[in-house]
């Protein structure tokens, strides 16, 4: 019995060590952001935190990191988001801008005050602020 428990604990720990970790990041111009505010910003329900304009940045639509972000942070599937943005289009609202790579998101966030995006934790550059973390 002890061997089984030891095996299970070891397996769980190894799964945790090899899980992918991600972060929602901003530059230092943004003080703090709650999970609810992150959702509202990426769904374009708001474009401000206090009196500061915020620019959300997505990765391309089928990027595995974006799929994880939509599932774990926004709690929405690809199809549900597609439907959401179709409706928003007819109301005159556009989705956040998309970039092809984490490097592009990283550069954009470092240069544009009030920007927010997401990437693998190990890709977060010095000077960026992690406001939310999740893992798969």
Q: Is residue 62 part of a domain?
A: yes
So what's the pLDDT on residue 127? 87
pLDDT per residue of the chain (136 residues) written in tens, 0 to 9: 665 555 555 555 444 555 799 999 999 888 889 999 999 999 999 999 989 999 999 999 889 999 999 999 999 999 999 999 999 999 999 999 999 999 999 999 999 999 999 999 999 998 899 999 999 9
Give the pair of three-digit tokens for residue 105: 């998101």
If one counts the domains in the chain, the total is 1
DSSP state of 94: -
Helices (H), 73-115: 78-90, 102-111
CA dist 24 and 40 (Å) reads: 14
Q: Is residue 43 part of a domain?
A: yes
Q: Is residue 73 part of a domain?
A: yes
Q: Is residue 63 part of a domain?
A: yes
Q: Is residue 60 part of a domain?
A: yes
Domain encompassing residue 125 = 20-135
So what's the pLDDT on residue 31? 83
Q: Is residue 117 part of a domain?
A: yes
Q: Is residue 8 part of a domain?
A: no
Check which CATH number belongs to the domain holding 25 and give it: 3.40.190.10
CA dist 46 and 51 (Å) reads: 11
């Amino acid at each position: 019995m002890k061997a089984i428990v030891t095996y299970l604990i070891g397996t769980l720990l190894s799964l945790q060590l090899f899980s992918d970790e991600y972060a929602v990041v901003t530059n230092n111009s943004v003080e703090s952001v709650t999970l609810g505010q992150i959702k509202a910003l990426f769904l374009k329900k708001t474009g401000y935190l206090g009196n500061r304009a915020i620019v959300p940045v997505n990765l391309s639509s089928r990027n595995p990191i974006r799929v994880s972000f939509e599932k774990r942070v926004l709690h929405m599937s690809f199809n549900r988001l597609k439907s959401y943005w179709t409706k928003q289009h007819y109301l005159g609202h556009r989705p956040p801008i998309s970039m092809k790579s984490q490097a592009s998101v990283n550069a954009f966030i470092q240069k544009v005050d009030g920007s927010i995006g997401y990437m693998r934790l190990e890709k977060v550059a010095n000077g960026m602020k992690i406001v939310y973390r999740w893992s798969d």
